[in-house]
Chain A
Amino acid sequence: MKSLGSIRRDFAPWNDPNAKPYIQFDKVTKKFGDFTAVNNLSLTIFEREFFALLGASGCGKSTLLRMLAGFEEPTAGRILLDGQDLRGIPPYKRPVNMMFQSYALFPHMTVEKNIAFGLKQEGMPAADIEKRVAEMLRLVKLEQFAKRKPHQLSGGQRQRVALARSVAKRPKVLLLDEPLGALDKKLREETQFELMDLQQELGLTFVVVTHDQEEAMTMADRIAIMDKGEVMQVATPAEIYEAPTSRFVAHFVGNVNMFEGKVAERAANTTRITGATGAQIVVENAADTAMGADIVFAIRPEKIRVSSKKPADAVNALEGEVYDVAYLGDMTVFHIKLDDGQMVRASAMNASRVTEDPLTWNDRAWVSFRPDAGVVLTR
């Protein structure tokens, strides 16, 4: 899995056994009455990391963030920041700042005053505050809006003010709760890269909560996929996508095809799987599975080839019928109904402008893939 590292070269403290954890969730549980929002969760985040908590709404990711900010106390377990136990420290004494989903800009203050608010609380001298505010305004390119009030700004500008306000105090950790959730798609994409640049420039640790997988994949060094108050997998975006460890993660991020079956035959490094209807496939990376065990072979659509004739060299080739074709410009997505009834999603890059032999509805077609193109999942 060497190739599935961080997008930032030479930044992988999680692989270094000697690296000092910066934020540690140690067996943290949070209950609201009968409801368990976070369940016995342990997680380690490193300094200068851009860490994303990804999950559907209600999975506990926001609660995790709020516990770090100090708005909620864990029911059980500890949260450590730079070795210090945060229990009992109120939000206004924690060296973390949060950018709120609603931005929570103070409506009765100008942009300038909003950004200066935290610095004033610190008791910073007025001249320094002025300098820092000017610097922050430059950073988010809002110099000419300093005297405006929040209601006189666009959504994107408000987002920048919120960002400037939350980093003005140079917190040890910046918490971002759905930072781009209220922006339209185009602006969101631009802002993603700006956030990454900002994080690099300031050298801060970012913890971002999002339900948008694309956002998490683009920005984060590592992603924690959460479900029902538990962490399902913590890994780099590439690992999450290419080597999910569970069906949940495989389904949650991107599209995936699942071939269910039993282990039928084992060779040196390949395993033959027999599906319920008798279809057979050969896969790699299933060494630790027992004979007869129920397993799943998960494979991404772009790793499946679609052709009108059976490919001669393919180890795995299954026949079916084209059920649906979606032309998306850069690629074409096929839904192929295999003869055993299973639906397979395959996508093909449209590398050339004209296809000689285009497949269309109800055509007979073959899907083929290499034994190492997917992963074997047991849970």
Chain B
Amino acid sequence: MTNIAAAASPPAETAALPTRLAKGFVDRLVIIVPYLWLLFFFLVPFIIVFKISLSQTAISMPPYTPVLDFSEGISGFFAGFRELNFDNYTWLTQDALYFNAYVTSLIIAAISTLLTLIVGYPIAYGMARAPATIRPTLLMLVILPFWTSFLIRVYAWIGILKPEGLLNQVLLSLHLISQPLVILNTYTAIFIGIVYSYLPFMVLPLYSSLEKMDYSLIEAAQDLGCPPTGAFWKITFPLSLPGVIAGCLLVFIPAVGEFVIPDLLGGSQTLMIGKTLWNEFFANRDWPVSSAVAVILLLVLTVPIMFFQQAQAKAQEQGK
């Protein structure tokens, strides 16, 4: 069959083959470039971190052993390879500190994500319903805080939240409270910090899904006897779910590993995985354990997301 087909194909097509191959390569290049990017800047670093997590801490340069290299030839490389083990992971399960830090981080991230959603949804909704002429301005205002350093903005919150800070001064002078509120160095401060810092990541995807929604759907719902609040929950919210999910992921994922906000606003007693990692790395100089912490964090975050995406793809497949 193949032979017959090949024999029957006109010679012109054979001549065109190199050009077709080249075209195929150009087409594929579009995909190859991002894959290469992921390979070099995600997969390779991850493998290095993973390898370090399997090593043992040592007082040397770099501060772990074995160091895999070929200075002693192939056999030396494999000798080093055999020294790798999962001791650090076992260690993580033995000390409750790590488990608690993971759980606390996930809970804090989940609560802050919910708070960000509650704050961000009305903002995005208002923007999407605003006159088209002022929408770009509103969008600009949402992005504007990014023009100032993240660190400076978090520091500014210390000035606002501390016992003798701006917020307490205002509340005291208005006689709303009789003594300063203790907000700084509590979980409340962490929530405020995360909600403030990550709000744009929630608002932007929500806005983009709300903005393209056809307003006549709301009118149709009302026309069919549904009051405005009902129309919101039955039409607007379900249709904005892709934006809600994207926004929540964009806030939740970085919030779990957040280090700066709990460190600056949460004080010393708050236990979050980002801070634990930082301590292991910089205070204890225990690279292997901190690498293990990072690998587990990555798994904790990516595995549920992968399952979620698979489920979503399946749902979409069924929809078609």
Chain A residues within CB distance 8 Å of chain B: 69-71, 90-93, 96-98, 100, 102, 104-108, 117-118, 121-122, 149, 152, 165-166, 169
Contact = CB atoms under 8 A, between A and B. Distances in A.
A198 B320 CA distance: 31
A104 B225 contact: no
B217 A121 contact: no
A106 B217 contact: yes
A19 B225 CA distance: 30
Interface in B220-261: 220-228, 230, 234-235, 238-239
Interface residues of B, number: 20
Given A104-B217, A106-B217, A69 B223 contact: yes
A312 to B, nearest CB: 62
A333 B234 CA distance: 56
B27 interface: no
A169 B230 CA distance: 18
Nearest to B215: A104
A121 B216 contact: no
B319 A91 contact: no
A106 B222 CA distance: 12
Contacts of B223: 69-70, 91-92, 96-98, 166
Question: Which of B216, B219, B220, B228: most chain A Cβ within 10 A?
Answer: B220
Given A90-B222, A98-B219, A117-B226, 18 more contacts: A71-B219, A91-B219, A92-B225, A98-B223, A100-B219, A104-B214, A104-B216, A104-B219, A107-B217, A108-B238, A117-B224, A118-B224, A118-B226, A121-B224, A121-B225, A149-B319, A165-B224, A169-B225
Nearest to B220: A104
Interface in B130-174: none
A169 B222 CA distance: 13
Contact of B225 (A102, A107, A118): A118
Contacts of A90: 222, 227
Contacts of B214: 102, 104
Contacts of A149: 319
A188 B228 CA distance: 34
Interface in B235-290: 235, 238-239
Contacts of A152: 320
A48 B55 CA distance: 85
B292 to A, nearest CB: 43
Nearest to A165: B224
A106 B220 contact: yes
Contacts of A92: 222-228
A121 B220 CA distance: 12
A104 B239 CA distance: 13
Shortest Cβ-Cβ A-B pairs, 6 listed = A118-B224, A121-B225, A104-B220, A104-B216, A91-B222, A92-B222
Given A102-B216, A106-B217, A107-B239, A97 B222 contact: no
Contacts of A100: 216, 219-220
Nearest to A117: B224
Contacts of A69: 219, 223
Nearest to A123: B225
A97 B320 CA distance: 30
B309 to A, nearest CB: 19
A96 to B, nearest CB: 8
Contacts of A91: 219, 222-223
A169 B224 contact: yes
B234 to A, nearest CB: 8
Interface string B181-210: 000000000000000000000000000000
24 contacts: A70-B222, A91-B222, A93-B225, A96-B223, A98-B223, A100-B216, A100-B219, A102-B214, A104-B214, A104-B217, A104-B219, A106-B217, A106-B220, A106-B221, A106-B235, A107-B217, A108-B238, A117-B234, A121-B224, A121-B225, A149-B319, A165-B224, A169-B224, A169-B225
A341 B224 CA distance: 58
Nearest to B239: A108
Contacts of A93: 225
Given A97-B224, A152-B320, A169-B224, A121 B230 contact: yes
Contacts of B221: 106, 117
Contacts of B320: 152
Contacts of A97: 223-224
A253 to B, nearest CB: 29
A98 to B, nearest CB: 5
A102 B216 CA distance: 8
A172 to B, nearest CB: 13
Nearest to A95: B225
Contacts of B226: 92, 117-118, 121
A133 to B, nearest CB: 13
A149 B225 CA distance: 22
